[in-house]
Amino acid sequence: MNKNWRQVLPPRNITIFLCVVYLFTYLLDLYIIYLGIPVPKDIGAIRMPLLVLASAFYALYRVLNFHPFYSRKYREWLCLTPWSIEKPLPKGPVHLIWADLIILAPLTALAYSNFSFMTLVPLIVFLCVYLVMMCITFVAEQASFAVLCLFLAPFTIYPFVNQYVAVLVLIVLYFICRVGLRQFLRGFPWNTKYWKADTVKELREKAISQQVIGWPFRYLNVYETSGISVFGAFVLSLLLTWWLHVIQWVFDESYAFFGLFLIPICVAFFRAGVYAAIYRPPISLLGRIFTGRLIIPGYDKILIAPIYILLAGTLLPFTLGVLGVSLTLTVEISFFMIFFLALSLPPSLREWRLTGAYRIGQHVQKIPPRPVTPQNQALVEFFSSIFKSSK
Amino acid sequence: MISVVNVWHHYGIKPVLRDVSLSVEPGELVAVMGPNGMGKSTLLGLMAGVLWPIKGYVEIDGHRRRNSIEEEIEIRKKIVYLPDNPYLPLYNTGREFLLAVGRLYEVEEERLMEHAEQLLKLFDLQENADSPIRSYSAGQKKKIGMCSALVTEAPILILDEPFSGGLDSSALLALSQILKRLADRRDVTVVMAVPVPELVESVAHKIAIIVKGKILAYDTADGLRKTASCTGDLAKVLEALIHPEVFKNIESYLEGRVS
């Protein structure tokens, strides 16, 4: 217990800073009382953002500092050790342990003392941030856990908003993530599609993402994004529709009607943009007209999906309306179809990049990104030090 | 083997390439020459796969470009294209850039480190290897671009104006000799666009001359001399082929001029 406590202890400097700021707000209260100004009953609520911030920070610290997913150096080092799933992670556990209560219990108690209506808010914020960070780790290999979590996550606020229900749902999600985490750790030394134990693939991806590589190598490489399967498109569309349903419930159902006009246009343009931003037509519009090549099938095929999306966005709601389907259901079926068409209609991005009749030129050449300047180097160092262990 | 078959290309209304056909055998070093704006870079872009021909097709080792995913992947693994002004990561070091490009072409890590070091030495970039590319001179930037193409160890090199851009004499010599030797060993096939003929004759196995989007001649240097019925250096041969009236005009100008 003592060892675990030391392992999960958040960085000392930040803890002290947050405590000092918190005490300062109390002193401010006392000063206001001393001045004889009437104190509002719910003045304690002003301290709630501070508690929320502390909870979010602790959740970030717990995942970023302990999960090998977020640290290449840690992963590389682990690969050199005889570590296995049966042994505890050397830096400390990623999963929650009783020692976490030493931080979370005071935060909850402070929330109760300040604003009893929001007692569980720090715990909810902690779990939300922790689970989001865990879900990100699942994209490497355990996508099904991420999808399951994303499907269940809206139940924290839907169909009714209650902090106790939210905590209950988050605890269920935590246990799903716990299984996912175990799956992840079992995959050691993690030769995933995002990195390899030997790190070459990871270095390559990093070079591409950090724009060390540009025109033309980047655009002629063979490591293009793999396409999404029809089943994947179906699940993702269902997920998006489900989230939109919840968002629609949280806000106002009447907004959904405007979404019916906006979403197909946005999705159609987005899809066309993804395909055409870098990969331009092989000949200009004037060239097409004057040479009589009004349609270039190899290039213009990327416009078929956006046309279908726009058609689905206009004809489907109309048809469902004629059939007497309710507005909510009409909107949701239409959204689902729009997302599904956008994600599943050919050509896939991979197919397009490798076989499309496009032209790429120097329009893709970007100015290399500037590195961190000495002026903001200190700031970057400060933020990176936050997540370093205080030991 | 690179085959360009009946290729036409337009950017706009005017065709840039007109019914161009060309075949480059494995291990050949071909220089594409011609006046500015005649389609040299377009032809190279089509071979490299950054452009799509409006008519005709390009084949690399029997695989047609952008015909199928598998064929295109095969081609892309074999071919490296270096345009006249490639992207350089100005805030990364030359060595970092070379290693990143090498990894993109799956060069084995240990060999990549060694090869990068050799190239940096060859092009006299060792002192600057670990400095950001933004501190390089124009010639050094050109050199690091060339190194990036060579470090890939790709069997087909498509180089757009590799000898221009401020290369010093030692770099010109190194580059021309490296390309020549690699081609002579049949290790690589090189197609390069070169606007000036000085370095070409000693390096190129064949020379393709493009004028107004058409291949005017495609032969060895001696073959071109025969075609042009002209002896002497390649510059004269080219002028005789591209601008047959130039010499006549010069003579008539000088004859008519009162000294």
Residue A153 confidence (pLDDT) above 80: yes
Q: What's the number of CA atoms in the CB half-sphere (13 Å) around residue B119?
A: 27
What value does the mean pLDDT of chain B take?
Answer: 90
What local confidence, expressed as pLDDT, does residue A390 receive? 42
User: With pLDDT > 90 as the criterion, what percentage of chain A qualifies?
Assistant: 42
Identify the residue among A199, A208, A222 best suited for mutation to test binding to B, counting B beta carbons within 10 A and taking the highest: A222
In A346-385, the residues whose Cβ lies within 8 Å of chain B are 350-351, 354-362, 365-366, 368-371
| Pairwise CB contact (< 8 Å): A217 & B104 | yes
pLDDT at A10: 84
Q: What is the mean pLDDT of residues A179-203?
A: 75
8 Å CB contact of A216 and B90: no
pLDDT of A343 strictly over 90: yes
Tens-digit pLDDT profile for residues B195-214:
778 788 888 999 999 998 99
**Alpha-carbon distance values, A60 to A11, A159, B242 (Å):** 12, 28, 69
Cβ-nearest to A368 among B79, B91, B103: B91
Chain B hits for A370, CB-CB cut-off 8 Å, are 91
* Of A357 and A222, more confident: A357
Yes or no, beta carbons of A370 and B87 under 8 Å apart: no
Q: Which residues of A touch B99 (CB under 8 A)?
A: 203
Q: What is the pLDDT of residue A391?
A: 39
For B215-224, how does the pLDDT look when each residue is reduced to its tens digit (9 = 90+)?
A: 999 999 899 9
pLDDT score for A256: 67
pLDDT digits (tens, 9 = 90+) for B75-113: 999 999 999 889 999 999 999 999 999 999 989 989 999
A83-113 pLDDT, tens digit per residue, is 888 899 998 899 999 889 988 999 999 888 8
Q: Which of A280-284, B22-26, B243-247 is least confident?
A: B243-247
pLDDT at site B238: 84
Q: Which residue of A has its CA nearest to B110?
A: A200
Task: Look over chain A and give the mean of its residue pLDDT values, rounded to a whole number.
Answer: 84
- Give the best residue of A76, A195, A204, A217 to mutate against chain B (max B CB count within 10 A): A217
Q: Which of A220, A290, A361 is the closest to B49 by Cβ?
A: A220
Q: Which of A282, A369, A370 sits opposite B51 (nearest CB)?
A: A282
| Cβ distance of B103 and A287 shorter than 8 Å | no
User: Per-residue pLDDT tens for A304-334?
Assistant: 999 999 999 999 999 998 999 988 888 889 9
A356 contacts B87? CB cut-off 8 A: no
A309, A261 in Cβ contact below 8 A? no
CA–CA min distance A234, chain B (Å):
24
**ipTM, two decimals:** 0.88
Nearest by CB to A211, from B81, B89, B99: name it: B89
Write out chain B in H/E/C secondary structure: CEEEEEEEEECCCCEEEEEEEEEECCCCEEEEECCCCCCHHHHHHHHHCCCCCCEEEEEECCEECCCCHHHHHHHHHHEEEECCCCCCCCCCEHHHHHHHHHHHCCCCHHHHHHHHHHHHHHCCCCCCCCCEHHHCCHHHHHHHHHHHHHHCCCCEEEEECCCCCCCCHHHHHHHHHHHHHHHHCCCCEEEEECCCCCCHHHHCCEEEEEECCEEEEEECHHHHHHHHCCCCCHHHHHHHHHCCHHHHHHHHHHHHCCC
The answer to whether the pTM exceeds 0.90 is no
B69, A214: Cβ pair inside 8 Å?
Answer: no
Looking at the complex, does the CB of residue A300 fall below 8 Å from at least one CB of chain B? no
Q: Is A222 an 8 Å CB contact of chain B? A: yes
The closest CB to that of B91, out of A286, A299, A370, belongs to A370
- B interface residues, A as partner, C-beta within 8 Å: 9-13, 45, 48-54, 66-69, 72-73, 76-77, 79-83, 85-92, 96-97, 99-101, 103-104, 109, 148
Q: Considering only CB atoms, which chain B residues are within 8 Å of A225?
A: none
Distance between B80 CA and the closest CA of chain A, angstroms: 8
pLDDT given at position A312:
93
Interface of A with B in 223-242 (CB under 8 A): 223
Residues in contact with A345: Cβ distance below 8 Å, sequence separation at least 6, in sequence order = A304, A305, A308
